[in-house]
Amino acid sequence: MTQDSHVTTGSLLRERLDVQVRRLKGFWSFYRGSRIGMLGLFIIIGFIIVAIVAPLITPYDPRALVGTPFQPPMGEHPLGTDQVGRDIYSQLIWGSRVSLMVGLLASAFGVAIGTVIGLVSGYFRGPPDSILMRITDLFITLPGLPMMLILAALLGRSMWNIIFVIAITGWTGTAKMVRSQTLSIKERPYVEAARSVGARDRHIIMRHILPNVFPLVFANAIVGIVDAILAESGLSFLGLGDPTKPSWGQLLRYANEAGALATGRWWFIIPPGLCIMLVAIGFAFSSYSLDQILNPRLRKRRW
Amino acid sequence: MGLKEYIGRRTLQGITTILLAIILNFILFRIMPGDPTRVLIGDPRVETGTRLALIEKFGLERPLLEQFILYISNLFSGELGVSFAQMGRPVIEIILGRKMVNTLVLMGSSMSIAFLLGILLGVIAAWKRGTKADISFIIFSLATYSMPVFWFGMILLLVFSVYFNVFPIAGTITPGVTHPNFLAYASDYLHHLMAPMLTLAVSFFGGYFLFMRDTILDVFTEDYMLTARAKGPMVSLMGVHVTFLISGATMTETVFSWDGLGRLIYDSVRTADYPVLQGIFLIMSILVVVASILADITNAFLDPRIKEAVD
């Protein structure tokens, strides 16, 4: 008897896993067909590899004063040195770490906040919904960058504060989207059925609603990464980044402070911005393709 | 629900949001770490007389609730405090003046360009969907979206101001020049406006383009009448985008030293000029709420079905 029920549970689990694997395979075959999406994925993987092997491919400690200031690109310093003699190339390579880390974590936190608020709001309706939606409206209204600047200035300059500031200002889109999805999924027959046999709210949310909103939440998270990477670079450029970690935005700040513009030192200005743009493009391309695949409205048409 | 009722309801929501923004604004500057209140009282840049008057006016040594009530009543009489960095100049005078005009000119012009180009190319791309032209437009707009605004501004400066010397490098007018007439002044101003306007317009083009293309394709597949429906979402998008515009303007104004509110935000953060920050923050929140209400109402007016969809 126990043996039997064990087998059943086991096979049920296996079946569920199979469904997930089949779903994932179906998704991948769609995604592989998108050239823009694959290009984006390759760019992302490229930057992740660079970030991981940063210590192996940089000749210097990015924070150490290793040469005379303001050297143009030359043998020992492929991108020259900054105003205090740090190696620009080493700072550039290490910058990928901050960019990816802040991008991924800030977006993940923001999407998590938005998903919880959207689920609660859409599932329970009533007063919690009204309150949560007014709060959401408030956060939509707050001017994004000024808000981030003020918060970052008040909290102090560290990478975790930057992540917090970006997440706390960037969850509203997800909340609105998850809420409207929840509202529509809640009315579907199988959810009604689950409720009529006495399934609890928690069970319904975790089993029926969350899995259905997850694909769109995921797509949202990818767009969120683009926004978070750009926000981090902007905050660092304005001097609110973590002073202990080299980042691309900070490099551009140094360039600006050192008057690299007026003196035409392009090697100080072009590479960091290009890196920000490339890594953001990687995620933007992926998100565009995800949107084409996950959005059933769009899937029907080829482009 | 009638149009009037919808407007009423939307306005009420807007007022609630503004009130919440005021409360948040108050809390943000008094409860956060770094203790801005102490900064407010102890800032050495403010003269003793002015400081005592401020402490009195904002009740800074009284309980928080009293401070809040005073803050609100001061707010309604247009009293936003005085700047630390600018020798005690009233905040309201700094914000509502030349800087605001400069920002509105920059935002308005770049938004119009991005909007028109977005619509135009969006329609063309949707029309020729799947062709090379369409795909290049998509890639271009994703690329501009992924570009840090301030960096694009720096590149423009590097190329057009440093290498070719066709755009001025900073400011809103040439310093030290007295303009003989208004026309000369205007042309100098426009000359300075070009590069920041282009920067901001390019950074906003992508969003408008992708949205327009998608909307039109929807209309195609659903066999709807084209323009009437497409107009609505664009207007509402513009309302929401005011917040993004403010972010973009802050970066752009900083890079080009454009004498507007965005640059003022940056300067105030750098000099810890909290009263000015608080003031800008409030005025911008109100601006965004008003813009989004106007957009929603226009929207409801253009497409009666929208107000039914809002619950």
Contact A149, A164 (CB under 8 A): no
pLDDT in tens, B268-291: 888 877 778 888 888 888 888 888
Q: How far apart are CA A169 and CA A191, in angstroms?
A: 33
**Hunting for tokens 């995800």 — which residue is that?**
A290
| Token pair of A167 as six digits | 């997440």
User: Residues of chain A whose pLDDT is less than 70?
Assistant: 1-8, 295-303
- Residue A303: its chain B contacts at CB < 8 A? 129-130, 134-135, 217
Q: Which residues make Cβ contacts (< 8 Å) with residue A49, sequence separation at least 6? A: none
> Which of the residues A44, A150, A267, A279 would you substitute to probe the B interface, choosing the one with the greatest number of B C-beta atoms within 10 Å?
A150
> Is the CB of B269 less than 8 angstroms away from the CB of A264?
no
Instruction: Choose among B89, B115, B127: nearest CA to B203.
Output: B115
What is the predicted pLDDT for the residue at A233? Answer: 94
Q: What is the dihedral of CA B194, B200, B204, B205, to 10 degrees?
A: 30
What is the predicted pLDDT for the residue at A198? Answer: 82
What is the predicted pLDDT for the residue at B43? Answer: 61
ipTM of the complex: 0.87
Distance from CA of B182 to the nearest CA of A (A): 30
**Nearest Cα residue in chain A from B161:** A262
Count CB atoms within 10 A of the CB of residue A156: 11
Q: Which residues make Cβ contacts (< 8 Å) with residue B20, sequence separation at least 6? A: A134, A135, A138
What is the predicted pLDDT for the residue at A64? Answer: 80
Percent of all residues in chain B with a pLDDT value above 90, rounded to a whole number: 17
What is the predicted pLDDT for the residue at A250? Answer: 92
A136: amino acid identity, one letter: T
> Is the CB of A36 less than 8 angstroms away from the CB of B163?
no
Interface of A with B in 270-289 (CB under 8 A): 270, 272-273, 276-277, 280-281, 283-285, 288
Would the CA dihedral through B260, B236, A146, B85 be positive or negative? positive
DSSP string, A142-198: S-HHHHHHHHHHHH-S-HHHHHHHHHHHS-HHHHHHHHHHHHHHHTSHHHHHHHHTT
Interface of A with B in 130-149 (CB under 8 A): 134-135, 137-138, 140-147, 149
What is the predicted pLDDT for the residue at A236? Answer: 93
Contact B253, B196 (CB under 8 A): yes
Alpha helices (H) along chain B = 3-31, 36-42, 48-58, 64-76, 91-95, 98-127, 132-145, 149-156, 182-222, 226-256, 261-270, 274-302, 305-309
What is the predicted pLDDT for the residue at B241? Answer: 64
Q: What is the dihedral of CA B14, B20, B22, B27, to 10 degrees?
A: -170
3-class DSSP assignment, residue A87: strand
pLDDT in tens, B169-182: 788 888 777 778 88
What is the predicted pLDDT for the residue at A119? Answer: 93
Instruction: Choose among B160, B238, B236, B243: nearest CA to B197.
Output: B160
pLDDT in tens, A41-71: 999 999 999 999 988 988 888 888 887 888 7
φ/ψ of residue B87, rounded to 5: 55, 40
Phi-psi region of A98 (alpha: psi -120 to 50; beta: other; left: phi over 0): alpha
Burial of B145 (C-beta count, 10 Å sphere; 0-12/13-18/19+): buried
Q: How far apart are CA A58 and CA A47, in angstroms?
A: 14
**Hunting for tokens 């401070």 — which residue is that?**
B67
Q: Would you write out chain B's pLDDT as a tens digit for each of its 311 residues?
A: 577 888 888 888 888 888 888 888 888 777 655 444 555 565 666 667 777 776 776 666 777 788 788 888 888 777 777 776 676 678 888 888 888 899 989 988 998 999 899 989 999 998 888 889 889 999 999 999 899 999 999 999 999 888 888 888 788 888 777 778 888 888 888 989 999 999 999 988 888 888 888 878 777 665 444 444 445 455 555 555 667 778 888 899 999 999 998 899 888 888 877 778 888 888 888 888 888 788 777 777 776 655 554 44
Q: How far apart are CA A45 and CA A39, in angstroms?
A: 10
How open is the CA angle B110-B115-B118, to the nearest 5 degrees?
120
Summarize chain A as % helix, strand, coil (round to 5).
75, 0, 20
DSSP string, A71-83: PPSBTTBTT-B-T
What is the predicted pLDDT for the residue at A206? Answer: 86
Distance from CA of B33 to the nearest CA of A (A): 6
